Chains A and B, each alone.
Chain A
Amino acid sequence: MARVTLDKVNKIYPSRHGDVHAVQDLDLAIEDGEFVALLGPSGCGKTSTLRMIVGLEAISGGVIAFDGQPVNDQTPEQRNVAMAFETYALYPTFTVAQNLAFPLEVKGVDKPTRDEKVAEVARLLRIEPILDSFPRQLSGGQQQRVSLGRALIRDPAVFILDEVMSHLDAHLKFQMLFELKRIHQTLERTIVYVTHDQMEALALADRVAVMSDAKLQQFGDRDTLYDRPANTFVAGFIGEPPTNFLEAEVQDDGTTMRLTIRDASAAFVPDGPRAAAIRDQSLKSVIVGIRPQNLHVRHDEGDEQITATVEINEYQGEHSILSLRDGAAEFRAMVPPSVKTGEGETIDLSYRSRDVMVFHPETEVFIS
């Protein structure tokens, strides 16, 4: 068990095109037993961060500490960190039981203890029936479980999972999400989980650290990231389909405020507190953010409305995604699959004022 803290951590890779600053002044405090996800687009520095925590990569600047003790100079073995990868990396000539026992065998643990630990991990991961099978006889999901088991069996202080689900089928992934959550609740072990998939991160982690451009953008739980994103990057990265961003002019007569979309006819009405915040900062223009899920075809009491033209109606089974245009503005709405409005037709969409997010036009910071 360990509390993991990163203090002003930097990673710089020298390259023939000049230095690449992969991680910049990263501060992060992961509590003992907490499940934290590192989330970001490819190339954001999340894998470099993880490799520094594990000890596979030298730290260019700053301090990483486990339970307050700096580990910068420790080897991965000394840190007692276990890692499972995207590729399962199982030994093909070993059975599942032998694969699981191997890390203990290397450490010189005696056979009765090994057998006991293998049985315990197999029970936790529900892989008892396949202990005598070879990796090639297993499905992808089963192999992934064995790979997790092999990391777990070492009883690590910190458990690190690198994109472990990105090659699993959607259905399998869904099962594994619930499974992994259950395992964490049983073990109460510190877990750092790296992924580019926001759905996985939100579903699994107690808190999610969103990274972009080598920097931490926001560190918070699901509701915070979803309802109060720090900036347009976080708002755009969390949620699927991504949030719509529209540049808007502020029109305000002191009582009602309208945010008129630039080069378009639609205007959004923000709720009271947001309008007040915009007034406080005396902004002439803002960036409006509205999630596709929050534009409805159903009209409820008190909803505001906009009209747009459908460019693409993408049927997705459970719902459809409309790509819409209003003047020069393009945005998306998520609607029930029964909506069959086609290309070139206009559609009325409703929204609630409190679902209108507003960002500063230059800094792109969330205005609350």
Chain B
Amino acid sequence: MARLVLDEICKGWDFPVLDRLSLTVEEGEFFVIVGPSGIGKTTLLRCVAGLERLDAGRVFIGDRDATTIKPYRRGVAMTFESYALYPHLSVYENIASPLRARRLPKPTIDRTVASVASLLKIDHLLDRRPHEVSGGQKQRTALGRTLVAKPDIFLLDEPISHLDAKIRHELRRQFHTLEELRRVATLYVTHDYSEALSLGDRIGVMGKGGLIQVGSPRDVFENPADLFAARVLGQPSINEFQAIIERDASGIHVSVADGAIRFPPAGPHASVLGRRQDMGISVGMRPQHLSVLPEGAEANRPTVTGSVDVYEALGATGVLIAKVGDQQMTVITPPEAHYQTGEPVRIALDRDHFLYFDRGDGRNLMVGPH
């Protein structure tokens, strides 16, 4: 049992993937790193596992400085996105391999493999070889092999990303309750923000060089540190508009595209925006904070008018892309609604939830010193 401490770790020189990244994951904590692909999430895990050499910084596992310890002596278990199963061994033997390495008695191995296999719903495949099972089943075999290992630290690299929605939700629920995971420190990486928000005790948003923001899922989603963090979390992506602040006798207004979208910001936002000298900002509107008003409906919020560009009915919701002036606005709609291209729409703005960013460095104007 141990906590994981990363102390200013660096990887890469001219274009560092990890630039003085520091992070502590407590014993029993489930920490999720979320970020776009290619940003260095897997490299970070490989550094912790000892599969990559650090260029600077230290890794501590418990009280031990593990920086130069060999991978197999670190007490970490890792899943790989490429599964890395033994092709000549059966699913059973693959899952059992860490237990055999510990020379456990056969009945114990049988019991452990059977329980993890039923948990992951692959108990009917134990005799098959990796090439005889599907991709999703391979992924679960790799996860099973990691779960039985009883390490101090779990490192999970997109362990459920390629599974269908049904089994993904089942496994998510199990991640919440699995004793094995909840006892030790787990570092989990994913590009799926909803997985991150759902699973993480805390989450870290990874950008170029390291972590942009660390916090509780709710805090990071509702108060992203900057535009990058706001973009990483949320699907469809947040609407971003270049806006200017206009002042007149009635107070201040946020204006986009020469006034095609124009509204007075919510009270707390208005006081911060009102103090700005530079009038150029970016305004962020999440699609679920915009809604199409039924014809003739009274709005108790500001509205804009536009026309339907594309409409797509997904399962639980619909996604409508509207043209407002020369801008595109993505709106979440209820599943019953159907829209035709070109149809005029009136969109209500739930401005209490809008986000405002500095146009230069992208930082959230409502977070930190104003």
Contact = CB atoms under 8 A, between A and B. Distances in A.
Interface of A: 15, 17, 20, 41-43, 47, 139-140, 166, 169-171, 174, 177-178, 181, 196-199, 202-203, 222-223, 226, 236-242, 291, 293, 312, 314-319, 321, 323, 332, 334, 337
Indicate the member of A236, A241, A293, A319 with the most B CB atoms within 10 Å. Answer: A241
Interface string B209-230: 0000000011001000000000
A177 B312 CA distance: 10
Contacts of A319: 288
B37 A42 contact: no
- The B contact surface, by secondary structure, is mixed
A29 to B, nearest CB: 24
A171 B191 CA distance: 10
Contact of B164 (A178, A197, A222, A317): A197
B327 interface: no
Interface stretch (B16-24, B54-62, B93-101, B232-240): B232-240
B252 interface: no
A361 B29 CA distance: 42
Given A42-B135, A242-B169, A170 B316 contact: no
A202 B193 contact: no
B335 A170 contact: no
Given A196-B136, A312-B173, A315-B217, A170 B314 contact: no
22 contacts: A20-B132, A41-B164, A43-B133, A166-B162, A170-B235, A171-B235, A174-B237, A177-B312, A181-B312, A196-B162, A197-B164, A197-B165, A198-B164, A198-B315, A203-B314, A240-B316, A242-B166, A242-B169, A293-B335, A314-B198, A317-B193, A319-B288
B37 A203 contact: no
Nearest to B37: A169
A330 to B, nearest CB: 9
B90 to A, nearest CB: 11
Given A177-B312, A238-B315, A196 B163 contact: yes
Contacts of A316: 194, 197-198
Contacts, number: 119
Nearest to B36: A169
Contacts of B286: 318
B231 interface: yes
Given A198-B164, A312-B173, A323-B173, A17 B127 contact: yes
B315 A239 contact: yes
Band of interface residues on B: 35 or more
A94 B248 CA distance: 59
A238 B316 CA distance: 9
B108 interface: no
A65 B163 CA distance: 32
Contact of A42 (B136, B235, B312, B321): B136
Nearest to A141: B37
Contact of B169 (A42, A43, A240, A318): A240
Interface string B183-208: 00000000111100110000000000
Interface in B122-137: 127-128, 132-137
Contacts of A237: 164-166
A238 to B, nearest CB: 6
A316 B133 CA distance: 32
A178 B311 CA distance: 10
A276 to B, nearest CB: 24
B164 A196 contact: yes
A170 B193 CA distance: 9
B176 interface: yes
B119 interface: no
Contacts of B342: none
Given A197-B165, A321-B198, A171 B312 contact: no
A26 to B, nearest CB: 18
Nearest to A323: B173
B126 to A, nearest CB: 11
B313 interface: yes
Nearest to A340: B218
Given A17-B127, A170-B235, A316-B194, A41 B167 contact: yes
A170 B198 contact: no
A323 B233 CA distance: 22
A202 B321 CA distance: 17
Interface in B160-184: 162-167, 169, 172-173, 176-177
